Amino acid sequence: MSNSTLIILALTVPVVGALLIAMSDRKPNQRDGITLLTAGALFAAVVALLPSILAGKRPGLSLIEVVPGIKLAFEVEPLGMMFAAIASFLWIVNSIYSFGYMRGNKEAHQTRFYVYFAASLWAAIGIAFSANLFTLFVFYEILTILTYPLVTHHGDRNAVQGGRVYLGILLTTSIALLLPAIVLTAFVAGTLDFQVGGILAGKVSPVLGGLLLFMFIYGTGKAALMPMHKWLPAAMVAPTPVSALLHAVAVVKAGVFVVVKVVIYIFGIDYLSNLANTEWLLYISGATIVIASIIALRSDNLKRRLAYSTISQLSYVIMATAILLPISAVGAALHIVVHAFGKITLFFAAGSIYTAAHKTKVSQLDGIGRRMPWTMGAFAIGALSMIGVPPTAGFVSKWFILQGAMQAESVFAFVVIVLSTLLNAAYFLPIVYAAFFRKAPAETKHGEAPLPIVIALAATAGGTIALFFFPDVALQLARDVVRSGG
């Protein structure tokens, strides 16, 4: 099968799956089976492209020319391969988890949930395989629209309010900043194609280059850089599988993916290194890491704590990119993968706790590890990865980011990494301690969550450890990003 055919399959399988899921509304078992088959087929199509990417090829597909010089086109390069592989694989695991969660909590509108989930993965693949800024923007906006019904799934007042914040911030930032940045780039560079070394060197003045960087960074609201972060905790009104989608599979990963891709393939690391007015990005991302960690530490609601942890971890990717060294860029790309596995494990555990014990607060988790050892064991692994403790994958990406900070002689970045690591430990380890070493309330009688939930969280926790021992493929892709884009 040709690479062009595989790209077409990756872009059509989720759409066909969504239609078949909608047609199976009255047959829940059939609907769930179609969901799982669709997720598996998408992952197979994406992985089939991997050997070509590892061999240095960059397969592409051009669909239509919208206006002269502006095409809806796709190209698979190492960074996009990483994003697509993560999203498609975790869709399989999240689907299994969702079967247990949605049925266990007797959620309404389950078919609608699976339809929009499949459609959202289609948009995520479109972003991952975008060959230019135009295609990326189209699918970026589609992803925002398609995830809105998932955020507002419960339909109550809190869901509607959370959805309003979600949609308002993401659409406002993209239309007011990202779209004008793309138009201005097309005007000054004469192209919107992602290219090795970037397309802006020698085309724009330092002042305009700095302005464009600001517009791209804050136009990408999904990256949740402060103060454009409030949509993320607001969206926690959604069911836990949606939270997992937002934090690990598609939405926030799309945000940091766009930031890294724009820095490497539109600006170019060498070009940005020569600009004098880019250090603000390092400081803003570092401040976001620390401030979000402090808010997480003070939050008793478990999902809110995890949400602010996500904001902090996303800014690790941005700060690593802002260091503007190849080794830190490798760390940034790796952290996209690492964070996906660790954070989805944590959200899976939070949903498992809610399903089995109906607990939502950190202060309610005393002794819960004795009743739910699989759930809290997985939570502990995810927490250790967020802290960066071996043998979890978080250690690998943080090691590269730390090396980048040291090579750049950036005292600020070094201090941020050390301080945030301590803060991560401060808001995660007490949960693990309380779960396993404190006595549970006398009325506690629940056990583990339904089996599909346990299977899913055990799989992602295992993946978090496996990535520590077998990081070779992810590491090669991350290094290829730097070699092709630096």
pLDDT in tens, 246-284: 666 778 889 999 999 999 999 998 888 888 788 899 999
The answer to whether the beta carbons of residues 53 and 76 sit under 8 Å apart is yes
Place of tokens 């990408």: 220
Alpha carbon of 245 to those of 71, 143, 452, 465: distances in Å?
29, 11, 17, 21
Asked whether 109 and 154 are in contact (CB, 8 A), the reply is no
pLDDT at 11: 96
Average pLDDT (153-181) is 89
| Least confident piece of the model among 143-157, 211-225, 328-342 | 143-157
Count Cβ atoms below 10 Å from residue 108 Cβ, excluding itself.
Answer: 11
**Contact between residue 300 and residue 361 where contact means Cβ atoms under 8 Å apart:** yes
Segments making up each domain of the chain, as ranges: 1-266, 278-486
E strand or H helix at 63, and its extent? Answer: strand 60-67
193 - beta bridge partners?
A: 132
Q: 421, 341 in Cβ contact below 8 A? A: no
**362 pLDDT band (50/70/90 cuts)?**
very high
Omega into 227 within 30° of 0, i.e. cis? yes
- Per the CB < 8 A criterion, the answer to whether 100 and 451 are in contact is yes
* Residue appearing with tokens 């899921």: 21
Cα distance between residue 45 and residue 310, in whole Å: 29
- Can you read off the two tokens belonging to residue 400? 């590269």
